Homo-oligomer: A and B are copies of this chain.
Amino acid sequence: MPSIITLTTDFGVGSPYVAAMKGVLLSIAPETRLIYLSHTIRPQQVRQAALLLADTTPLFPTGSLHVVVVDPGVGTSRAIVFAEIDGQRYICPDNGLLSLVQKRARLAKPDVPIMIRHITSEQYFRQPVSSTFHGRDIMAPIAAHISLGLAPEALGPPLEALQELTWPGAVKVANRLTGEIIAIDSFGNLLTNITRSQLEEVPTGTEVGIFCDEHETRGIFSTYADQPAMTLIALISSGDQLELAIVDDSAETMLGVGVGAPVEVRW
């Protein structure tokens, strides 16, 4: 089976930087299969990438290698790491990109094996190494060598822990859950950080109100079709989060809200 390498960057679709990374990867490991997760992470938005990785990489075949270049600290002393978390493998700057992957893996399995290496083995780097593009000069060639079978132990010394971002979780106080919008999809649906399991703590049969900015809706439904067109509806998203949508239209546009806007569930 050909090995799978996925790419996630903030370089933008059609960027020459992405093309350069593909060239380096394929020139070392020509049989590797390249899969694109996303090149449209907003510039330097580590949190957006961390969310994408947590939502999608656990779905890939065990042993897939995910290369992530969202690297505001390129050229500083921040480490570049190899990590293996619950069977998925990652190469990325150690800047919090894997915070949410790791947090969710530990929630699901408290003793999940996590292996981390600080990548220092310069003999596998592309030379000369530029100061501004470690995706091409370090991460791509290292990923290619790993996909050819290089043992992670050869990459550099072990690390005890990854850098972690504090992640804004929703909080429950009395009969309220207070969270925020953390992502918006192409339909303008608003995804929040209020989880299905938090909502399960609401006493059964209680009617809930959901408030976002100055807008309000009542009840949590299963699917868009449960309410008429142009209605604000709350439901559980395919990622097990509370989601706000306007049936057949864009909630982002109609409500005029963005990432970070507060969302509250009251009962």
Contact = CB atoms under 8 A, between A and B. Distances in A.
A206 interface: no
Given A23-B56, A43-B188, A76-B225, 15 more contacts: A10-B186, A13-B40, A16-B56, A22-B60, A24-B59, A26-B35, A26-B64, A43-B186, A43-B250, A44-B248, A59-B136, A72-B248, A131-B222, A132-B223, A132-B235
A178 interface: no
Contacts of A74: 223-225
Contacts of A188: 43
A186 B22 contact: no
A12 B61 CA distance: 24
A56 B22 CA distance: 9
A55 to B, nearest CB: 5
Interface of A: 1-2, 4, 6, 10-17, 19-20, 22-24, 26-27, 30-31, 34-35, 37-41, 43-44, 51-52, 55-61, 64, 72-76, 130-133, 136-137, 183, 185-188, 222-226, 235-238, 243, 248, 250
A94 to B, nearest CB: 15
Identical chains in the assembly: 3
A31 B1 CA distance: 7
Contact of A73 (B30, B52, B225, B250): B225
A185 B11 CA distance: 8
Nearest to A34: B35
B185 A15 contact: yes
A38 B16 contact: yes
Contact of A13 (B14, B16, B26): B14
A31 B223 CA distance: 34
Contacts of A40: 12-14
A250 B75 CA distance: 18
Contacts of A55: 16, 19-20
A187 B185 CA distance: 22
A190 B247 CA distance: 31
Contacts of A57: 23
